[in-house]
Structure 1
Amino acid sequence: MRKTLLKKGFTTFFGLIMASTSLNFLNAQNNWQGDISSDFYDVNNWSDNTIDFANAGSQTLVIGAGNPNNPVQIGGSNSIGARPDYLNTISGANATFNGTLYPWNSDMLNGTITLNTPALLSIRNVIYIGKADEGIVNITGGSLYSRYQTIIGYNTGGNGTINVSGGTLYVGNYLEIGTSPGGTNPSGTLNISGGVVDVTTAVNIGSNGNIVISSIGALIVTGDHKITLENYILNGKISALNGENLVVNFDGSRTTVSIAQDPNRMIEEFASYIILKNGVLEAKIEKSTSNIQSLKVNGVETLATYNASNNSRIGTYYDFTGSYGFDKISGTVFSIKEETEDYIDVSFKRTYSDGNFLAPCDADIHYVLKKDDTGIYTYSILTHKAEYPAFDLGSWRQVVWIGNDGTDYLAEKIYVTEQKSWEMPSVYDFSQASATAIPEIVKLNTGIRAGKYDGKYEYCENLIDIPAYGHASDKNSIGSWAVFGSHEFFNAGPTNHDLNAAAGIIHIDMNTVHYNCRGFSIPQGEEWSKIYGPYLIYTSQESTAAANWEDAKSRAAQDKGEWPFSWLTNTPEYPLANGRGNITGNFSITDSEKPDLDGSNAWIGVTQLTAASDGHWQFEDKNYQYWVKTDASGNFDIKHVRPGTYTLFAFKNGAVNEYRMENVTVNAGGTTNLGNINWNIPRNNGKLLWEIGIPNRTAAEYKFGDFDYCEGFVENKFETTFPNPIEYNIEDNNWATVLPYVHTKYIKSDGSRDTWNWNINFSVTGTIPTTGNAKLTVAFASVDHAQFWLYLNGNNIYLSYPTVPSGGNAWIRQSNRSKYGIQTFDIPYSSLVQGENTLTFLMPSNQSNSHIMYDYISFEGNNITVQNSLLSTEEFDSKNGIKLYPNPTNGKVNIKLPKSTDDIIIELYTINGGLISRQIYQNNQNSLELDISNKPMGVYFIKILSETPTTLKIVKKQ
């Protein structure tokens, strides 16, 4: 049975400490011998080697002088046991704690005890240091925790000393120093030099007690104890080691005693945290975690600093995920990397040690504050040393929780793209929301978005396309942003989309794990290091939310122009501009079936491929990637590439697959001119007879693929929107409205799931060859746990899993794409018939997330003719009486409008929400023509701002 010496309800200084002065012998006593090793958990080092440390609740562990080894405790945790009833150290003890131990009680801590990072020695009762003897506790890192009182010096002959040079001494009730009534004049000393002493109730210093503060040490007491502590200073009971001035400050909740610091520096350093400040911005950063606990700009707190649900501070944090699990950064050591009049760069480094951290990797977190800036830069360097165990990285991210008052957010609007920008539900609205079958999605019941779903994946976009995202406010005239000058350190290339901003949060996912990103592994014996960042956690203070977003995007453009930053010096992982090189050239495309296809507006980039990538940039997570868009003439300049040998890739909307060039060498300070690069797209299978969709690596051009997909549970609309089976006629060319963006089971309103055939109907005329094959090409935007069964005229011709990248949960994670893949199928001419033919697509898999998203489908062949109209003649009629036709279009779009008394504004946007053009038309016009002939093929949005604002999708084919 667990024995408790004290009860919480006691409030007198000494009513809680009437414990026996002798050792507790009611339990089985086990004495440290140390004749085998220093391993605390080696049972052969104890007098009773039958001890079970996973079930040690009835044990009294007594540590004295070892023979010949003194104990060193590493590892252990509250969750696996190793929790004795009593831990006592006696004269001659010399014990070191580097891990976690939770004894229920302690009679005494005598001898010498040392706590190093990341130790947590948590005694769930009173702690007596120097009880009727000498006791010394050295806290260099980690924490010593007492649930109730900590008594330094107790009973006659008691002489206790605690030296806090790092880490924390946490006292759950009273801190008593040389005050014990249990004997005559016990003495106690508390030296605080590089750590913090955190006391919940009060500090009482007796006649033979004293506190000495030096360097950055701090004494913090909950409540207003300013007068009491100032009197202790006047009486010499609290003093500074070198005679510096001590400052006593009450911040409204806690009282701190520390040494006054230089007000002209951009940093103030305290025992457990630092403050970076420049007169505009003030950031409080916890030393042991690198977490920003408070971020104020012109006095306004921009972070959510407290989570009432679990009594925790949130602010910001970094974390890993891998096969080892979830590893939130802790155990960091603070230092100043560089300090000038214009900026300061500070480091919080966690060095891996076996048994103390999960991920076998060093993490060096930096923050950089520049003079007069309203943002703080951050970057991180991950390092795997050869001697470390094998390491794998899934996610590496930083999370920023934006400010709120418990009811409303400081910034009530979200801004990711033009399309995904709106007023968010309030904190209260989320508290009233209903859970759904998908944990990340809730159904909103109150507020401005009542009746809609909200989930963090709803906002996912290609990260390279959103250099600034976050939240802004019309009410409070403020914006909170993540701002990027470069994306070279992100994984998986320019189509990698993932979490960014969401309800009350900003994610910076630098190595992402969603949508079928694989992560990477580093074996033992391999040295690896990578820098992530710098990027900016930025606060804007413009008058409106929209103006704040424009300011954030302007800052991103400024940072892009300054990349690589000249101030980030002495960092081998981050060469400056003269240590990098450029790659230039001109890119063109030749396609005999699509003569209008050229090299303009194409993605072109380089990376160094590892084995885990399977030779493809989509899965390259370990190394840097450098991507740019070509200009209108196909010219490109990939700037600031680290020296090395790379593989170059290029792709463009409208072209299936991609171009590849090996062995592109970059030298520091040089330019590699590749000259004219032509991608000649082979047409070895004959003419292009028909096609469905646009090769753009997404399912955006199909029904619900432009926006509805992101709002959650779009499958609830399938039964009322689509028939089963689907009959798609090639000659109608209306795939934008007839075909869904995702091929799943056919989900009915009663929850049942039926097989869903998609019939692709086309008419063949003329003589059909008796030998040879036509070619069906299917470009997949996403495949997850799904088979693809293909039939021609009722006969199976392919029945298997697609041989393309599978996984990523894109459907459930509210996206219209995951990883891209292509598969071709030989269609025997002998299987075709004169007249109507039907290709049937079937997705037979039954898992809840099983799906296929088609990017593009084409049919090629020789010596046959297929009836096929290039453009739809069917008008698109919106619910507001606005018609667009033809859709898809080769260039010109007719817009029929209802009569209006107001002028009409028509805006054209890219699929990513970028504004292309804005035109104002007179109110007497109800038939307009919009010419997008000079725009690349793809999906666009037309926003019509009139009495009934409407957004419609238009598909540009060539």
Structure 2
Amino acid sequence: MTMVVCVQVVVENGIVRVTLSIPEGMITGIEYNGVENLLETQNPDENRGYWDLSWSKLGKEHIGMYDRIVGTNFSVVVEDPEQVELSFTNTWDSSSQSDLVPLNIDRRFVMLRGCAGFYSYAIYEHLGEWPGFSIAETRMVLKPSQTKFHYMALSDTRQRIMPMPEDRASGEPLAYPEAVLLTNPINANLRGEVDDKYQYSCENKDGGVHGWICRECTNDSSVGFWMITPSNEFKSGGPLKQDLTSHVGPTMLSMFLSAHYGGDDVKLRFEEGEPWRKVFGPVFVYLNSASDAEDPYTALWEDAKQQMAIQVQDWPYTFPASEDFPKKQQRGSVHGRLLVRDRYINEDDMMADSAYVGLAPLGEAGSWQIEGKGYQFWTNADTKGYFRIDNIREGDYNLYAFVRGFIGDYKYDVNLTITAGDHINLGNLVYEPPRDGPTLWEIGIPDRTAEEFYIPDANPKYINKLYLSHPTSEAKAPAPVDRFRQYGLWERYSNIYRESDLVYEVGVSNYQRDWFFAQVTRKNETKNAYQATTWTIVFNLTNVDHHNSTYKLRVALASATYADLHVQVNGPERYNPIFRSGLVGADNSIARHGIHGLYHLFNIDVPSDLLIVGTNLIFLTQSKRDTAFEEVMYDYIRLEGPLNSH
């Protein structure tokens, strides 16, 4: 490998050539397969490849500040025939009272011999005497060439020719800022489609590889340009946290932390004097090529997935020079088995089939979904509930879990301290989900999403063709493909329920057909205002235990956006709500085409004297009505009889 240092530093290994500015550390050029620069050369040097963050001073969270991370010192950490590692640092000057984020940041770039790409990671540090602040977002950004890269891929089913930036600029802005109706796109096939970067979000667990393909990038081959994330240990929010990937620009992101689909709850807040240090990454920027004799889109995507699997297998990497990144021998593991105990379902303990089990910093049950200061390590249990979590960094953790088919969050009641070389056997662990009595009725599936409910067809005026239903085979009906990612579905509620709100009759209605996936506000076109909505659940009881008994209503929310949920039983005109959530959630899930945000579980006492033999009614009112985007998405609702009732 060779390295040339002048105003810029150039690193190459015979496959890839990467140019970075000194001392700023901006990626200004990537040469591969005969293409002089895969990045957008019409952009200035500082807007081709970079790290950035959004933050606020404590007490001034309403004033968001943006820092593109610019190095002030450059050094070569490793230079030998096998590896080059470069460091670009910026140090916060406490005496300057700077409006820069109060962090020391050391960004590293690594190139290995024989490797078709390069790695990047960073160490963020907040010293104890520095002022408090909050971080809303930090990420690595690459801007591929607009003239070369038009095809984007982020999963087997989510890949397509994308619009151009000019198409968005000439399009019609829609109700949410990121959404644009393409009215006169360069590619006429895209006319009438909606483009929105949030339509290409995905969960951490599914975001291992995404990127762009240049068809006929050279005379005889096509080129793929990929962002590979081999581990999510440094990302915030756990396996279900949703975030951006690639989108029109072309833009390719590695999101480490953001408030997307979570709001202020997931921002990192640091008090004055609070020390902190964290490594983000490494992530791998991978390049591949395919002969034009092949189907380049399929060939390059499949190869990128194979490369992702290789990178996952190689984690934790052996090459990072920073002592802040522990190698495999410096880490530990835990294993065990998770069982579920619910005597109203089964007299025997049940296997936690495919449960998510993870280690995250110390906290309450479920706190992992808003945690980002530390590291998280997750796995899926097997069909019998056995799990193993490897490569855990040293530190203090709680073990958390959640199981599809059961409400709530599990937390192991013993704090775990992991040290190098530990292999801890936790044996059998038992999760007892919330339960007071037998199930009288239930709506939905407890899976932390609203995906099983009725998701309507998009308004034909506002579609993304990628998410239209398509046939799975000649023998089957069209299958939905992420229908919830279409624009404007909040408007469809008022179209479907024109005169009155949703009424769901237990034992008659079907939640897949009759329960709209989001309880949104209703647009009053005459007054150009929004109205609160009240949904009604109708159910029959053949007997009611009135002997000092309390029934239990479990309401699990998959998402909430500036909502205030009220619950009333049998006669809203006569009774005050038996439950008010208060203002809850800032997920923006429906506006950002998500099917869930943060999970909330409300356990509501229903006094038996409110219930009658015969027909009963439960009213669910989402009382906030300022915008189209205030909503709740239900995950699951269950009414339980009193303890020991039959």
Q: TM-score, normalised by structure 1?
A: 0.59
Instruction: Say which of 371, 375, 396 aligns to 2:113.
Output: 371
Letter in 2 for 1:553: K
CA distance in 2, matches of 1:815, 1:615: 20
Could you say which residue in structure 1 is the equivalent of 2:84?
344
Match of 2:632 among 835, 839, 852: 852
Is 1:334 matched with 2:69? no
2:462 aligns with none
1:910-925 to structure 2, matched below 5 A, reads none
Deviations 1:152-185 (A, max 9, x none): xxxxxxxxxxxxxxxxxxxxxxxxxxxxxxxxxx
- Contact 2:365 / 2:411 at 8 angstroms: preserved in 1? no
Change (3 A) 1:645 1:864: closer
> Is the CA contact (8 Å cut-off) linking 2:454 and 2:512 kept in structure 1?
yes
AA at the equivalent of 1:315: R
Aligned to 2:466: none
Whether 1:468 aligns to 2:212 is no
Question: Contact conserved, 2:531 with 2:625, CA < 8 A, in 1?
Answer: no
Deviation at 1:403, TM superposition (A): 1.5
Query: What is the Cα deviation at residue 593 of structure 1?
Result: 3.5
* Equivalent residue, structure 2, for 1:237: none
State the shift of 1:833 in Å. 2.0
Larger Rg: 1
Contact 1:770 1:830 in 2 (8 A): no
Pick one of 534, 556, 567 that aligns with 1:757: 534
**What is the deviation of 1:474?**
4.8
Would you say the 8 A contact 1:603–1:651 is kept in 2?
yes
> 2:236 — aligned with what?
491
Cross-structure match for 2:439: 688
Q: In structure 1, what residue type is equivalent to 2:490? A: E
Q: 1:529 and 1:313, CA in 2 relative to 1: closer, same or farther beyond 3 A? A: closer
- Cα shift readout 1:495-545 (whole Å, capped 9, x = no counterpart): 111111111111211021222243223334333211100011112213421
Give the drift of 1:428: 4.6
- Give the distance between the partners of 2:6 and 2:614, measured in 1 at CA: 83
The correspondence of residues 404-443 of structure 1 with structure 2, limited to 5 A, is: 404-405=146-147, 410-443=148-181
Cα deviation digits, residues 352-411 of structure 1 (max 9, x gap): 123455101011111111112221100011011223332432211111112112xxxx23
User: 1:742 corresponds to which residue?
Assistant: 518
- The answer on 1:673 being equivalent to 2:425 is yes
Find the partner of 1:798 among 577, 582, 587.
577
Equivalent of 2:497 in 722, 732, 738: 722
- Using the alignment, how far apart are the partners of 1:419 and 1:695 within structure 2? 25
Q: CA RMSD in A?
A: 2.4
Q: Which amino acid aligns with 2:230?
A: G
Could you say which residue in structure 2 is the equivalent of 1:588? 339
Q: Deviations over 1:632-668 (max 9, x none)?
A: 2211111111122211001111110011013122221
In structure 2, the residue matched to 1:93 is: none
The superposition leaves residues 659-704 of structure 1 with CA deviations (integer Å, 9 ceiling, x where unpaired) of 10131222211201101112133532x2111111111111111122
Structure-2 change in CA distance of 1:709 and 1:430 (3 Å):
same
The match for 2:252 is: 506
Cross-structure match for 2:325: 574
Compare relative contact order (CA 8 Å, sep 6+) and give the higher one, 1 or 2: 2
Q: Which segment is superposed worse, 298-307 or 821-830? A: 298-307
Q: Deviations over 1:600-637 (max 9, x none)?
A: 21110111237xx8971111110011111111221111
Q: Which amino acid aligns with 1:493?
A: G
Unaligned runs of 5+ in 2: 58-64, 457-480
Tell me what 2:387 maps to: 636
Distance 2:491 2:571 in 1: 29
- Structure 1 residue 395 corresponds to structure 2 residue 148: no
- Shift in alpha-carbon separation, 1:699–1:375, aligned structure 2, 3 A: same
Superposed counterparts of 1:557-956, under 5 Å = 557-569=309-321, 571-595=322-346, 598-609=351-362, 616-661=367-412, 662-684=414-436, 686-704=437-455, 707-723=482-498, 724-747=500-523, 752-766=529-543, 768-795=545-572, 796-798=575-577, 801-802=580-581, 806-848=585-627, 849-862=629-642
One of 281, 286, 303 as aligned partner of 1:551 = 303
Unaligned runs of 5+ in 1: 1-264, 867-958
Matches of 1:289 and 1:521, distance apart in 2: 27
For 1:858, the aligned partner's letter is: R
Measure, in 1, the Cα distance between the counterparts of 2:394 and 2:384. Answer: 27
- Cα gap change, 1:606 to 1:864, in 2 (>3 Å): closer
Q: Deviations over 1:159-213 (max 9, x none)?
A: xxxxxxxxxxxxxxxxxxxxxxxxxxxxxxxxxxxxxxxxxxxxxxxxxxxxxxx
- 3-state SS of paired residue (1:656): coil
Aligned to 1:22: none
- The answer for the alignment partner of 1:361 in structure 2 is 103
Size of the aligned set, in residue pairs, is 590
Residue 298 of structure 1 aligns to which amino acid in structure 2?
N
Residues 863, 371 of structure 1: CA spacing in aligned structure 2 closer, same or farther, 3 A cutoff? closer
Per-residue deviation at 1:345?
Answer: 0.6
Q: 1:341, 1:733 → 2: CA distance?
A: 68
Instruction: Assess if the C-alpha contact under 8 Å between 1:425 and 1:448 holds in 2.
Output: no
* In the alignment, structure 1 residue 270 sits paired with structure 2 residue 6: yes
Q: 1:801 to 1:363 in 2, by over 3 A?
A: farther
Please state how far the C-alpha of 1:770 moved relative to its aligned partner: 4.8
Q: Which residue of 1 aligns with 2:62?
A: none
Instruction: In structure 2, give the amino acid aligned to 1:472.
Output: I
Aligned to 2:50: 317
Q: CA deviation at 1:427?
A: 4.2
Q: Equivalent residue for 2:288?
A: 540
**Which AA in structure 2 matches 1:734?**
N
The percentage of counterpart residues that share the same residue type is 27
Q: Is the 8 A contact 1:384 1:391 kept in 2?
A: no
1:283 aligns with 2:18: yes
Q: Letter of the aligned partner of 1:819 in structure 2?
A: L
- Give the drift of 1:492: 1.3
**Stretch of structure 1 that moved more, 720-729 or 629-638:** 720-729
How far 1:805 moved relative to its partner?
5.3
Matches of 1:709 and 1:530 in 2, distance apart? 35
Kindly state the Cα deviation for residue 862 of structure 1 after the two structures are TM-superposed. 4.0
Secondary structure of the 1:472 match is strand
Q: Is the 8 A contact 2:589 2:597 kept in 1?
A: yes
SS in 2 for 1:533: strand
CA distance in 2, matches of 1:461, 1:808: 14
Is 1:306–1:315's contact at 8 Å kept on the other side of the alignment? no
Compared CA separation, residues 821 and 342, structure 1 to 2 (3 A): same
2:285 partner letter: I
Q: 1:312 to 1:441 in 2, by over 3 A?
A: farther
Query: Which secondary structure does the structure 2 equivalent of 1:732 belong to?
Result: coil
Aligned counterparts, 1:58-73, within 5 A: none
Contact 1:804 1:823 in 2 (8 A): no
Asked if structure 2 preserves the Cα contact closer than 8 Å seen for 1:761 and 1:836, the reply is yes
Structure 1 CA distance for aligned equivalents of residues 351 and 626 of structure 2: 41
8 Å Cα contact 2:109/2:119 also seen in 1: yes
Query: 1:731: Cα distance to partner?
Result: 0.6
The counterpart of 2:274, out of the listed 526, 530, 540, is 526
Task: Letter of the 2:419 partner, please give it.
Answer: N
Instruction: Name the CA distance, whole Å, in 2 between partners of 1:398 and 1:532.
Output: 10
